[in-house]
Amino acid sequence: MSSYDFDLFVIGAGSGGVRASRMAAAMGAKVAVAEERHLGGTCVNIGCVPKKLMVYASHFAEEFEDAAGFGWTVGPRNFDWSTLIANKNCEITRLNGIYERLLTDAGVEIVEGRAVLEGPHSVVVAGRRITAKYILIATGGLPVRPTEPGQELGIVSDDVFFLEKQPERLLVAGGGYIAVEFAGVFAGLGSKVTQLYRGDLFLRGFDDDLRKALAAEMPKKHVDLRFKTIIEWTVKTSNGLLAELSGGQTLEVDQILYAIGRRPNTAALGLEAAGVAVDGKGGIVVDAHFRTSVPSIYALGDVTNRVQLTPVALAEGMAVAKTLFGGQPTSVDYADIPTAVFSQPPIGTVGLSEAVARKLYGAVDIYRSSFRPMKHTLSGRDETTMMKLVVERQTQRVVGAHMLGPDAAEIVQGLGIALKAGATKQVFDATIGIHPTAAEEFVTMRERLPDPEEAKAAE
């Protein structure tokens, strides 16, 4: 009989924590999970799920406008923020219930409260001391706040989902996917949106052609993009918030949303007391099997500050369960992870950007196509879809696929399978497309773009 209360104690009932808990319990382990907020973690409650619902809501304004070109007459319409938030809350409550049933049906004990490490095999939750053979930390991440004067007057992404009123004028500070997505959401819902980013171009780390193409499209969606610009300070006025921007400009808005990054949620977890090492950015350091510097303590997901995606955390949770209780030491392959930005228009991407591929392989072949989506030949909307393939020249293996345009995420998910399987450009070329679709462009691109040196010589 075990001398511990549990075989596995999980801190955090987000995507990764819940998956690890359920799978470990299914393998015969006695498991408990502690959660101080809501079951489902960031993704379900204040992340990808409610955000995607808001993205759907924001598309209707354009759909109503586009309908006219197809013969529809759309009458008076009005958007009500409170209805969207109320319906969103109902859906999240439903999902919370599903997560609770998934855990309890698997035999996992749910402990409410913040768990603090007391040692390599023990935690304290709401005054209760609990011991476990293994402890798994899956506490996720938190939004970063800036340091300039007046920053406390603004909000972060967690707060967006609980705003009582839609801001008529919104300033979004940041250049990552969260900033880009919320800028599009609020612009689509009718807010006057300005987005600032300190760099030359947002979405650092994505393919440059994607970044440039989205920067050209967002102003068409009524987002005022301002690069090389930051907020110096903010003060409250009788009409809202007044922000002074770099260069001496001022901008008065109703709300400021700071979306400048996220950090691992490790504060007050007792990591130092337990001897758990963290990196320079606060992420818990783990090995290939998610073990920390303390052999009995594991960590996964955003708290490790690696790939901050829900499906990755799910894969990591499964790997931990198999490693500890399935007799199968398991790691996760982080190559060719498909991802999306639900910008407007959206981005789907898998594999390497052109810049990274050139560094890794030297010679690469680039195929790129830009066109007006078929739908807009009748709607009259000015919107451009861009697709791109990055091919290693020597082997002709497709090492990157990128898209900006409607349904990009749905299309690139399928391409992710092809890249994972090592498909070559010849395989793409031999694949018959579905017509008429935008997706068929990925299997009909034949003309290689000139190398940068060739293009320069031709000028």
Q: Which residues have a catalytic role annotated?
A: 435
Distance in angstroms (rounded) separating the CA atoms of residues 14 and 370 = 39
Q: Strands, E, within 12-162: which ranges?
A: 31-35, 109-112, 115-119, 122-125, 128-137, 141-143, 155-156
Say how far apart CA 38 and CA 10 lie, in whole Å: 15
Of the candidates 391, 441, 442, the residue with the CA atom closest to the CA atom of residue 415? 442
Eight-state DSSP code of residue 284 = B
Tokens 């594991």 locate to: 298
Cβ atoms of residues 191 and 169 within 8 Å: yes
Residue for token digits 């510097």? Answer: 293
Structural element, H or E, at residue 263 = strand 262-264
Question: Strand 385-392 and strand 398-404: pairing?
Answer: antiparallel
Instruction: Convert 83-120 to b/e letters by CB count within 10 Å (16 or more is b).
Output: ebbeebeeebeebbeebbebbeeeebbebeebbbbbeb
Rounded Cα gap, residues 369 and 385, in angstroms? 8
